[in-house]
Amino acid sequence: MALPALLNPAHARTRVETGRDLQQFCQLAIDQELAAPGARITGKARYCRQYVSGFFASLHAMQTNEGTRKVHPNTEADRFQCALVPHTATYEQLERQVVRFGEWHPELLDEPAIRLIQRAFDSIDPC
């Protein structure tokens, strides 16, 4: 059973590691939503939804919870302070933004996935 995974490690990947993974899984989610609007997202497309959801849940906790909030200077390497948590957006809109940003910035696709999503939603200026 492990032999196919050894021959094709990208096919066996079951988590989001790189920007390319995130972009591909988000494209799968977009495609599923277009094919069956409102249906439950399945397969690897779920990894995009889970990653996006986790990213914004983490941001929300860091920015609103007294126990985790901290003051970030704009010169800090931790760019979480730069992201804007959208008040209203569908998962499909967020997924499209990730995919589009990956298309515009292909240099981020081989970086860790967190860099792609941070930059895709990096909207507080100057950062």
pLDDT, position 16:
93
Distance CA 76, CA 84 (A): 17
**Is the previous residue joined to 126 through a cis bond, with omega within 30 degrees of 0?**
yes
Mutual orientation of helices 91-104 and 113-120 as an angle, nearest 10°? 110
Q: How many CB atoms lie within 10 A of CB 72?
A: 16
- Supply the mean pLDDT for the chain: 80
Give tens-digit pLDDT for 62-121.
767 666 655 554 455 555 556 666 667 888 999 999 999 999 999 999 999 999 998 898
**What residues have CB less than 8 Å from 24, skipping those under 6 apart?**
44
Residue 68 phi, psi dihedral angles, 5° rounding: -115, -10
Give tens-digit pLDDT for 9-62.
555 557 899 999 999 999 999 999 999 998 999 999 999 999 999 988 887 777
Distance CA 47, CA 45 (A): 5
Is 62 in contact with 68 (CB distance < 8 Å)? yes
pLDDT, position 58:
82
